[in-house]
Amino acid sequence: MRIRLSVVLICLFVFIGTAGAEEPLSLENLTVTAEKQEQDLQKVPVSVTALTGMEIEDRRIRSISDVADFTPNFISPGSGIVGLSIPSIRGIHQDGSGSSPVGLFVDGVPILSATGFNDALLDIERVEVLRGPQGTLYGGGTEAGAVNVITRQPGNEVTGKACLEAGEDDKMRLTASLSSPIKKDVLAFSLSALHYEKDGYIKNTNTGEMVNNRDYDYGKAILRWTPTSALDISLIASALRHDDGDQGLALGPAGPAFYGVPVPNKREVQSDLQGWNKSESNMQALKVAWDMNENCKIQSVTTRRRYRSNYLNDWDFTSSVSMFAPMHKEMDNILRNVSEELKFSWNGEGASVVTGVYADMDDNDFTDIDAVTDTVTENHNTTGKGLGLFIHGEKALTAKLAVVTGVRYDWAEGEFDDTIRSREIDESWSEVSPKLSLKYAVTPEMMVYAGASKGYRKGGFNDHASPSDPETYDEESLISYEIGTKSQWLGNRLRVNVSAYYMDISDMQVRIDSPVSPEFNYTDNAAESYSTGAEVEATARVTTGLTLSGTFGYNRTVFKDYSDAKGDYDGNKNPYAPDYTYSLNGLYRHPVGIFTNLSYVGTGEMYLDKENIYKRDAYGVVNAKVGYETDHLDIYLYADNLFDEEYNAIGYFGGVYNVYSPPREVGVKVACRF
């Protein structure tokens, strides 16, 4: 790690030396919508990381997992199953089948489960990551934070771009986008599309083939109508379709004993089944914004999303026959959601208010099929509806001091129908989420803030429990206390934001293995925990062409009251809660067209289980991109994971599986635009 860090620092010093003769410029002011109205990033009393569309392109950010690399105390590691991520902010993650504590909102479309969390990023204007509970404005799926993805809107300019990436392992990534007015100042559209394919890196020794190949397509369309200067209406639609190989899992330390099979080599399986993944999703959103006058605005976001998780997998990864093997299963799950948010915002002299209502409905089908006997082993449906009422406001108390406060009431009702076990369950949940903070402008360039807020995630149904296990689980909640400062220095050439927090977590939702059989598990409110930490983000414009930035997050999330039939876990660290995360990024863009971006990202040691037996070791990854840019043509050479660092998760799902990290990828990118 020291050698790699030295390489990064040396390269950054070279950048500085090369660019030293240029005149420095101030950093660009960033406008965000973190609190559901446009605000200067440095004036928002919330820990927010904002990445612009240009930064996303320069740093080769392709997914929410990549966004997490540049956000302190945020990780979104893959589970080995395509479309299923485990987002964790400040040490809080999804444990079991419950809802995610991190909400994803793509153009207002809510994705509040870990399934489908890592949708593609394409033609993006901005990504915002809010850390800490956001329940007041975003509801129960944002107990630990929220991620806002905002797509670039079409306007009066005709623009287009096409890119080709080719890399190792027959990797190919094709993207294209077009934006154009249909009638100037009235009607415009944009189209964007992506195709991706690449060979896998896990080998089936029975066939000699790589099994986890990837092949998917994604597309998005926007139609924007502005009949008057006060009315803005956008219709947004997108679709994603996979035609992949098998999942990216292999047997871990406990897997061979569990299935009674030989221990495999690293990145190898011995399956007698070629799995596949044909998952797909589509979503639509209708966004309406009406500026009633210069102070008042009404906004409506109507959304629909359908995600089908459909894949076949050999879960024993062997051709042997044992107690469980062959364990060939097809999963065919369909998740549907429609939602509506209507909000009113007012901005006056020294005060602002956002208030509104949110409602949604879910209809989800879950089906497991034993591919050996071709019989349905799991078949259940969950339906639900929810309602949220919220108000959030800011009031200046003096010229420098302001209070920010808000409250939200959420109610949800669900029904569970299991046709295999003949179970029908009804349940409802409700919660009130208040927030109070103060912010003080020490100078025009420095603001300090302190506050407390409540976050929660709703309860749910135990769909993989045995008949003797609990059928439902209750809400999880936390109280978060945070202090921070946001500052700009040297004529806005240096931006430094710092925060510290403490969260007290009650009725924590944790996954418990059923005492009846290891194939069953359920979620229960069996734990109390706390999380404490600090975060730093800094960006410096050294010269016109050179920008340096870095993040660091320290976190400690620990069980303080948790035990079950297998043991006592008091004092153990939460799974998926690394002690630290960090990133360093150096960007140099010369007027003659020379471009270089170098980043170094990583996390500390992270446990995968409540017993703190299995883990992913600390790691750091260097990514590099160099090229030459012109007005219409760019050519780059890139390397992801330049030093081929391995950061494998050894012992996922109770030690049964390993999730192997992808190897180094070196490639070339050509971009043409007009």
Taking the domains of the chain in order of start, what are their residue ranges? 2-673
Q: Is the pLDDT of residue 57 over 60?
A: yes
The pLDDT, as a whole number, for residue 15 is 46
Instruction: Point out the least confidently predicted range of 303-317, 348-362, 511-525, 647-661.
Output: 511-525
Three-class SS of residue 42? helix
- Give percent of the chain above pLDDT 90: 74
Which residue would you say has higher pLDDT here, 24 or 305? 305
Alpha-carbon span 353 to 135, nearest angstrom: 16
The pLDDT, as a whole number, for residue 372 is 86
pLDDT tens-digit readout, 7-28: 544 454 444 444 444 455 889 8
The neighbouring-strand residues paired with 406 are 392, 435
The pLDDT, as a whole number, for residue 9 is 46
Mean pLDDT in the chain?
91
Question: Span 2-673: which CATH code?
Answer: 2.40.170.20
Average pLDDT for residues 47-70, to the nearest whole number? Answer: 95
Average pLDDT for residues 482-494, to the nearest whole number? Answer: 96
pTM reported for the whole predicted model = 0.93
Cβ-contact 81, 141 below 8 angstroms: no
User: DSSP assignment of 362-389, as one string?
Assistant: EEEEEEEEETTTTEEEEEEEEEEEEEEE
Residues in the chain: 674
Average pLDDT for residues 121-146, to the nearest whole number? Answer: 92
The pLDDT, as a whole number, for residue 599 is 98
pLDDT tens-digit readout, 409-432: 999 999 999 988 888 999 999 999
Average pLDDT for residues 655-673, to the nearest whole number? Answer: 95
Alpha-carbon span 321 to 314, nearest angstrom: 12
Token pair 């008091």: residue: 570
pLDDT tens-digit readout, 572-617: 999 999 999 999 999 999 999 999 999 999 999 999 999 999 999 9
The pLDDT, as a whole number, for residue 224 is 98
DSSP assignment letter at 632: S
Instruction: Point out the least confidently predicted range of 115-124, 237-246, 495-504.
Output: 115-124
The pLDDT, as a whole number, for residue 34 is 86
DSSP run (H or E) holding 407: strand 401-418
